[in-house]
Structures are given as structure tokens and as C-alpha cells.
Structure 1
């Protein structure tokens, strides 16, 4: 996914790259785009491009933070306005296990769940709307939204920035061929990790669905008893 996004922005003018990264980060929670494309992919690549002097790191950080906070705020308003009707949407039903996990986290941690959810892709897309539907006051949400957004953007953008610098340094020391080989191995490891994570999430969702089906069967059995 990193390679695909990098190929997409390669050759684009800086202004358009800034706009694309900000749009992806904003849409992750505001439009639930995080189900398809995790926002950290965009800011990691942005950090790599900044290490290559194609983007300004300070400007990238500011734009990404604003987009992250604004996107989550829009997601919160959607949840506050539509409430429980939001849970009947196709996207929410498809990721039922994540919804249950997020709701449990909100019940246990309150506003802190906004910060915690920021660092998991699907929770990041779901959490603002679910918090809004739980009627948590917006000022409390905003505090943890800003803290989480700043921490998240700094972590992944600077991670991409220093990774890009390390790659260039390795290329100078060991030759670009070896550096590319190391990068390929790193990407392969990330892909394997992502596939295993996806399978684990699917297993969790299947488990939740099985439990719900069992509970429904038990209720039906009780209703049929004389």
C-alpha cells in the first residue's frame, strides 16, 4: 500500500501532494474512508517525501494535524446527529466486532477512548462517530481529539521522515542495490503482518457474529417455550 501511494504521488506538484495527504487524513473518519485506506499510510509517505526535500516537514505536520482534528470532529457530528441509526449502515454491520470493541472501550474509558482509538486503523475511522452517538460533550472529545491527532501525526510522519533519511544513508554506505533489497524485505514483512492482522480481525468479527447468533437462538427458544 505504501508503494502504491508513493507511485501515485510521484511526479505531482507539492501543492497537490499536500492536498491529497490532507484529504485522505480528513476523510478517514469524516467519511469513514479509513475502512479502505488507513490515513497513516498517507502521512508516512509524506514524511518520506519530506526527507527527500520534496515537501516541507513543518507544513506537512501542520496540515496533517488540522486535517486529522477536523475530520474526527466531522465524524463526531455525524454520530451525534444520526445516533443509533448509524449502527444500521452497511459499513458498521460489516465491522460489527470492531464496533462492539469500540463501544466497550468508550464505556470503560470515556473520552480517553478517542486517544486510544487513534492508533488503530478501523477504530480511528469508527471512534469519532460512536463517541458522538454516545452524547459525550464535544469539549471533552475535542481535548483528546487534539492530543491524539498531534501524537499520531508526529509519530507516523516523523517515522516516515527518519525512515527515508535512514534509507538514503544506507544507500550511500552499502550501495543502493543493497538498500533497495532491505527496503523490499521490510515491505514484505509489513505485508505479512498486515495479512495476519486482517485474518485476526476477521476471526474476531466471526466470533462476535457467532455469539450474537447463539444469543438470538437462545431467545427464540425461550419465546417458544410454553
Structure 2
């Protein structure tokens, strides 16, 4: 039995699916629980399965609506009745800044915060709780709760539902390719859940952080490593950077060994190429070509120019040196890796005819640059909002990197290897930066720098006639 048949056999009944969607909507809106649950990803997956099973749309929307209303209602009741004890409940006892952020949001928008807050990721599960703690009028809360849920349910359910429903109308796709896409979707959901959990546990007060501190207290060697490598002159330990380095370096090493051993593309690479050849459209190729230009050498230079100019203008030579060393290092490692492994491309235009495929320099450089930008921007944001900066970088990096697969000049494993190499260098750069105490970056106008980078890239694309 292949994966598609197995999922069809194990899929819950329509009634069970409605209950699952209602439960996810409730938990995603429930205070404390909703902070830890990547509800958007899980809800999209459940809605896609409902669309695939052809569950009626109206009952599905009603289930999501009911769960969201009940979840916000329970959060409001919890804050209203347990106002004095809420701060002592985990995870708010370990992360009081979440409650403070919710209170500022409520004070700014008042009654409208219940309506607006449902669509604002970092504060969504907190606002109804804060409203209860502030003894907001229950009548006004109910009105805002119902009105926001009416809009929230279709916004979060319909994209996944339509995707799953459209799956039924792709009969030419082989079972093998369907299995590949389903496996990739499951992997993305699992990674989102793990990422959300680790994001909390690696912060001060998290369980993983607590485990490391306990080990450091009991073991002299661990204590020395902790004091020298983990928390030198810093209020926040760079555990996330160390974990990123270890995981990405291990994965990159294992994948590179496998690439050398196979002497050609993996079966998964060939399956994805066949999938692209079946369904690629001219418009998709045009978009891929544009993204490819954004991530090539001249596109990267256009992105970097505003940032480098600001660093030099502000005399932040330390920051300029770290970014320069990272970009030069990734270029050298890409060249060395391509020559050493010598893997051929699936197809090579004239300007790439003498270039090898693994690892993808396009992917590695893009991921490195976006990773550095996200990491330094995140230092200026509250802890609860940093999650969105990293996810924006991940989505942008995936789109730019996968454009090379769509154009047919790279295998999927080339992209994965390049992305992992970019993460390795990004983690090393962060650890080097965090090694000593440095002046803060509070004066970095990152919004203006992002806008300037976008304008530089747009100007280049216009000169090339791409847009």
C-alpha cells in the first residue's frame, strides 16, 4: 500500500474531521495553549484533508467558527475569573513579556483589540485573556468575538480546503508523485510544530535551557563550556545558534556523503523533476526567472548595498566585517564543494555549462543573507514577534531557492544542500558575533534598509527588462 492509499484508509470520517477542525480552532484561540500550538499550519492541514474528503464547506466553516468563539470565550472567562492567578500559570510565569505585550495592545485599541487581535499572530491567544483581566464588558466582548470569528473562519479554512478539493481534479498525477507531495506536506507540518516548540524551550526559562543549566551546575566540564561558550557577557544565551549549527552541519555532512556515494540524482530528485515537467506553466517559469535574477550574484549585491552603506556610515566595522567574511566564506565553500563533488546539472544553459550542481550557490547565498538579516532584525523586536521575522525569511528563501528547481538547473538535493550550508555559515557568523559584548543595533533602520534593498532589486530587474 502506497502513502496515498494509506492516508485514504486512515483518514477520519467527515464527522470526525469536523470535530478535529473545531478542536484545533478552539485550542488555537485558547490562552496559553494557543501560544504553543502552530495552529495556522495544523488547521490548514486539517482543512486540506477535509477538502480532499469532500466534506461540505458550510459545516466545516461552522466548526471552525464555533471552536474559535468557544476558545476566545474560555480565555476571556479565565482572565475575568482568575485575574490574580493568571501570571503564576506556565508559560506566562516564565514569559511575562507576552502578557505585557497583550496589555499594551489592549490599551491601544480598547474594545477593537478583540476583533483585531484575532488576526494578529503574536497576541491572538492573549488578547481575550487580557480583556477578561481588564474586566471588559462581557456584552461587548461577545459582539467582538462573534464578528471576528465570522471573518476568521473562512480566512483560515478556505485556502487549505480549496487546495485539498483541487487535489481530486489532478488525475494525471501518478501515485508516486502524490506520495511525494503528501510526504513533503507532512514534513512541513512536523517542522513547524518542532520549530514552535524549540523557539520557546531555548529561551531563558524554557525547559531545554533549564536542562542545560542543571547539567552545567552538576558537571565541571559542562559548567566551563557554559560559562565560556554559552553566556559570555550576555543576558540571552545563544542556544538557538548552537543548535542550528549542530543540526545543519550534521545534515549537510550526511547529505554530502550520500551525494558522493550515489554519483547522480536521487530518486526523489527525479520524481520532483517529473512533477515540474508535468505541471509547470509559462507564468510560473516567468516568476521563477524573476526570483532567479533576485538571488544571483548581482541581485545579492543589489540587496547588500544599502546595508553595507549604513554599516560603513555608522562606522560599524565589526558588523561589516562579519557580513563580509560570511559572504566571502560561502562563495569559497560553494566553489570548493562543486569542484570536489563534481555533480552534473539536470540541464545547463550556456552560462552554466561549465558549472557543477552541488551545493547550490544560489540557495546557500540566499539563505545566508536572509538568515543574517532576520537574525539582526530580530534583536530589535520583542521575543514574541521574532518568530514572524524568521518565518518571513524562511518563506522568501524557499521561494528564491526553489526557483532553480523550477527552471531545471538544479536537483532538489542541490537546493537542500545549499540551504544547509547557508545555515551553517549563518550560525557560525552569529556565534562569532555573540562571542563578545558589542554595542547594540537599536539605531539600525531595518525597515528603511529593507525598502532600499527592494528598490535596488526592482531597479536592476527593470534594467534587465524582467519586470
Contact 1:47 1:161 in 2 (8 A): yes
The size of the alignment, in residue pairs, is: 198
User: Superposition pairs for residues 133-172 of structure 1, below 5 Å?
Assistant: 133-169=133-169, 171-172=170-171
Cα deviation for residue 157 of structure 1 reads 0.6
Separation of aligned partners in 2, 1:173 and 1:81: 57
- Aligned residue number for residue 112 of structure 1: 112
Q: Classify 1:75/1:179 alpha carbon distance in 2 versus 1 (closer, same or farther; 3 Å).
A: same
SS of match in other structure, 1:83: coil
Q: Structure 1 residue 205 and structure 2 residue 383: aligned?
A: yes
Cα deviation for residue 69 of structure 1 reads 0.7
Q: Classify 1:168/1:98 alpha carbon distance in 2 versus 1 (closer, same or farther; 3 Å).
A: farther
Separation of aligned partners in 2, 1:177 and 1:114: 46
> What RMSD, in angstroms, separates the aligned Cα atoms of the two structures?
3.5
SS of match in other structure, 1:92: coil
Structure 2 alignment gaps of length 5 or more: 1-6, 200-239, 241-374, 386-467
Q: Classify 1:206/1:186 alpha carbon distance in 2 versus 1 (closer, same or farther; 3 Å).
A: closer
- Aligned residue number for residue 425 of structure 2: none
Deviations 1:156-180 (A, max 9, x none): 11010122234444x4466565566
Contact 1:46 1:55 in 2 (8 A): no
Separation of aligned partners in 1, 2:384 and 2:78: 27
- Aligned residue number for residue 72 of structure 2: 72
Cα deviation for residue 144 of structure 1 reads 1.8
- Aligned residue number for residue 101 of structure 2: 101
Contact 1:80 1:132 in 2 (8 A): yes
Deviations 1:52-74 (A, max 9, x none): 23422211111221121122111
- Aligned residue number for residue 55 of structure 2: 55
User: Superposition pairs for residues 23-34 of structure 1, below 5 Å?
Assistant: 23-30=23-30, 32-34=32-34
TM-score by length of 2: 0.37
TM-score by length of 1: 0.70
- Aligned residue number for residue 11 of structure 2: 11
Separation of aligned partners in 1, 2:384 and 2:181: 36
Cα deviation for residue 51 of structure 1 reads 1.9
- Flag the structure with higher helix content: 1
Q: Classify 1:45/1:119 alpha carbon distance in 2 versus 1 (closer, same or farther; 3 Å).
A: same
